[in-house]
Amino acid sequence: MDLTFAYRRPSGVKQNAAGLAISLSPNLRRDRVSFSGRLKDPLRFREAISALHDVVISDLRYQPPDRSAYNAWRESILQQESAIRTTAIRETKTELTARLAVPMPDGLEEDYRRHRVRYWKARQAYSNHLLKHDRELWRYMMPCDPVITVAEDSVFFECFSADESSYGCLSVAREAFEHSETPSLGTTNVDYSWNLYEHFQRLRSYRETRFEIDPAGFEVQIGDGHEHREEKIDLPNSWLRGFMQMQAAMSLPLRRLVIAREGVYNLLAFLRRHKASRSPRAVRFELEPGKPPVLVLEPWEKVISLHSPPYQGTRAETVRVWGRDRLRVLARQLPLLEQVDVYLLGTGLPSFWVTRMGEMQMVLGLSGWTTNNWTGASALTQLLPPVDVGESQLASIAATFRHHPAQSLDEVVRSSDLDQPTVVAGLNRLALLGQVIYDLTSDRYRWRQVMPTPLTMEQIGADDVETRMARELLRGGSIRTTKDEQTSAGLRLLSGAVNDKEVEMLLDGDGRIMHGRCHCSHHFQNGLRQGPCRHLQALRNKVISPPPASSLQDWFNRFRN
């Protein structure tokens, strides 16, 4: 997806007679959004926005050793060996082409897709190189500038990490500002550079600090001869899809836990001193109604004591989540924390950590694990509504936000004149399309268009064919498990039959497929290189993931319970 950003000038922190002024330049290609006010607590804002910056640059994907020198030498040898062949092929091809009229080549669309994949692989390799050697230039390769929304009661920033596995949202209540002027409500992108992050570190409590989204920037007309900076960004489909899937995940039913500050400190301190050399690498929550939650770090079975309120759920259960190394971005917020609310979807599914710091709250969303980001979370899509909501019903739900941009679920139901299951499913679809966000900090839905124009499901992209067919097999296929046992090495061996296809797989402690066997054509051609086939996914999801809902009412009953 192609996006164009235009800024009048770079954002920055400027010195004036009264103190410092944080000036963020908004995207001139979007509707007018402005805000101006004096921060009551600059230090609190500095630490919170710095943690959000750590989410943006977070990239915990495996980095192989640097073999650039060896690869360059090997490449030169290969070039020398193939020089004669290449010259002969080029001359022969030129001779044959000259004899024929050259029509429009067949398969142009496939070639475009293939070269696009090649482009993004090269772009990622270049990005990894810049991350090590030139971080300022690397910043310009970030997929998208942060999204900022000015609402009636708060200002909040949203971002998505470079490895497409972490989401951050910093919400600053209007009470955090003094002498604020009348704002222009709306959503826009802001210019956020590495220099701006460095400027934020200069904020001090003894200096007055003003925060403003520059309204004067909107007085500049876009056109030739005017001073503004324009960027054209081609958003990768995986980044856009991951960002939107996070919005949908936040609107699903969640279990809420409360962790005190000392519990978060003990968790981060232990992870800083220890590194797991084997799986599982999960954070395990043991939940029992009426008792405080118990947090266990695997594989050490380290119990973190939580002096927390009793769990309010109706049944005892154990939930395991991954991606714990990304919790380190919360370290800077420890001195400011009052408590952390943890929202859990289920084992292997995304988790949301809400840090409460007085008038500021930050939501940190983590996918199942770094290598299985939002785009590959097939188990997450099983929790989505099984029936698509009609366009007229979506329009009716969206219309309720026209005069009230932030509403509770009950308020939306009363205003839309639709039943609760349809409203909940419609809000989930609007969140997936980037129109609505569920605010965990205030328990309300907010109208927030993350892109300048409404998105469609075609732009976001659907699951791959094997994942879609795996869901169909779960709903109507014949799935039979013949073996489910633990090996001496701590791995899990699963075998069974899916529509008469004999399958077998080996799962590690984190639930990932290490080895698999199936007789279908997809597995015969690709193995696990292009992801597991539909039969392996179906058997794994039947054993590990919750079953898909059969109807909208069935899905809503799970949501309500």
| pLDDT tens-digit readout, 410-454 | 898 888 888 888 888 888 888 888 888 888 888 889 988 877 777
Query: Any idea where the domains of the chain sit in the sequence?
Result: 2-57+142-158+170-234, 245-373, 391-461, 465-544
Residue type, 73: W
Reply yes or no on whether the pLDDT at 476 is more than 90. Answer: no
Reply yes or no on whether the pLDDT at 225 is more than 50. Answer: no
Identify the weakest region by mean pLDDT among 10-14, 433-437, 512-516: 10-14
3-state secondary structure of 335: helix
pLDDT-based confidence at residue 217 (cuts at 50, 70, 90): very low
3-state secondary structure of 88: helix
The whole-number pLDDT of residue 382 equals 60
Reply yes or no on whether the pLDDT at 198 is more than 80. Answer: no
Q: Examine domains 245-373 and 391-461 and report if their fold is the same.
A: no
Average pLDDT, the chain: 78
Residue % of the chain over a pLDDT of 90: 6
Domain 245-373 CATH (choose: 3.40.50.970, 3.30.1060.10, 3.10.150.10, 3.30.1330.200): 3.10.150.10
Q: Running DSSP on this structure, what letter comes out for residue 442?
A: T
In this prediction, residues 510-525 reach a mean pLDDT of: 84
Instruction: Name 331's Cβ contacts closer than 8 Å, sequence gap at least 6.
Output: 268
The whole-number pLDDT of residue 377 equals 45
The whole-number pLDDT of residue 266 equals 92
* pLDDT tens readout for residues 111-161: 877 888 888 788 778 877 876 777 666 655 555 567 888 888 888 888 887
3-state secondary structure of 1: coil
Return the CATH architecture of domain 391-461: Orthogonal Bundle (1.10)
**38-47, 162-171, 427-436, range with greatest mean pLDDT:** 427-436
Give the DSSP per-residue string, 145-198: PPEEEE-SSEEEEEEE-TTS-EEEEEEEEGGGEESPPPPB-EEEEB---HHHHH
Reply yes or no on whether the pLDDT at 296 is more than 90. Answer: yes
Residue % of the chain over a pLDDT of 70: 75
Q: Rounded to whole angstroms, how far apart are CA atoms 91 and 480?
A: 59
Q: Rounded to whole angstroms, how far apart are CA atoms 494 and 515?
A: 11
Q: Rounded to whole angstroms, how far apart are CA atoms 174 and 554?
A: 40
